[in-house]
């Protein structure tokens, strides 16, 4: 009988990965980001273990979507008060908070539990091309996920 290998906390190597969202399709980009955050690109991937890398997304305001999603895709939230349902479409959310669009797309592809919430803390999204994480020496996602 073979035992399943379970990596220890000090054996996990966490790197920093930078993703340029310029002219990238939203769903395909979110899939790549969630794969890196979960650690599925690593040979020692174990489900239920946080093995993923930190992800920096730049140029979030320049993503693209297919079809009529800019006007048809709606984002909903509730304030907690009666009649407090707030809805905004993708075009308005991209104009106001482009970071939130990518965060919501990635969150939808992660587990909706304690592990998913801790993985979301490893995602940094910036609307423009600059980020303050140069000291971590992030690698481009093309090196991490070969196409």
How far is 132 from 6, CA to CA, in rounded Å?
34
How far is 33 from 104, CA to CA, in rounded Å?
12
Ordered by start, the domain boundaries in the chain are 15-141
Q: 1-5, 83-87, 98-102, 113-117 — which is least confidently predicted?
A: 1-5
Query: Taking residues 96-107, what's their average pLDDT?
Result: 97
Closest Cα to residue 29, out of 91, 106, 90, 100? 106
Asked if 18 and 54 count as a contact pair (C-beta separation under 8 A), the reply is no
Q: pLDDT tens digit string along 105-144?
A: 999 999 999 999 999 999 999 999 999 999 999 999 999 9
Q: Which CATH superfamily is domain 15-141 in?
A: Ribosomal protein L13 (3.90.1180.10)
Q: Hey, what's the torsion of the CAs at 127, 128, 132, 136, to 10 degrees?
A: 90
Tokens of 117: 């919430």
- Across the beta sheet with 54-58, the strand order is 123-125, 54-58, 16-20, 139-140
**3-state secondary structure at position 126:** coil
| pLDDT of 55 over the 90 cut | yes
Query: Taking residues 80-107, what's their average pLDDT?
Result: 97
Q: Which residue's entry shows tokens 């999603």?
A: 69
């Amino acid at each position: 009988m073979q035992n399943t290998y379970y990596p220890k906390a000090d054996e996990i190597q966490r790197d920093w990965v930078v993703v340029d969202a310029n002219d990238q399709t939203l769903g395909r980009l979110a899939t790549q980001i969630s794969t890196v955050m979960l650690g599925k690109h690593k040979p020692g991937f174990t489900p239920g273990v946080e093995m993923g890398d930190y992800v920096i997304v730049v140029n979030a305001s320049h993503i693209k979507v297919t079809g009529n999603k800019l006007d048809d895709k709606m984002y909903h939230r509730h304030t907690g008060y009666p009649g407090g349902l707030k809805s905004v479409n993708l075009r308005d959310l991209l104009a106001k908070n482009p970071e939130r669009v990518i965060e919501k797309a990635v969150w939808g592809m992660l587990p909706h539990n304690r592990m998913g919430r801790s993985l979301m803390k490893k995602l940094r999204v910036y609307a423009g091309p600059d980020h303050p994480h140069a000291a971590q020496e992030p690698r481009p996602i093309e090196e991490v996920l070969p196409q």
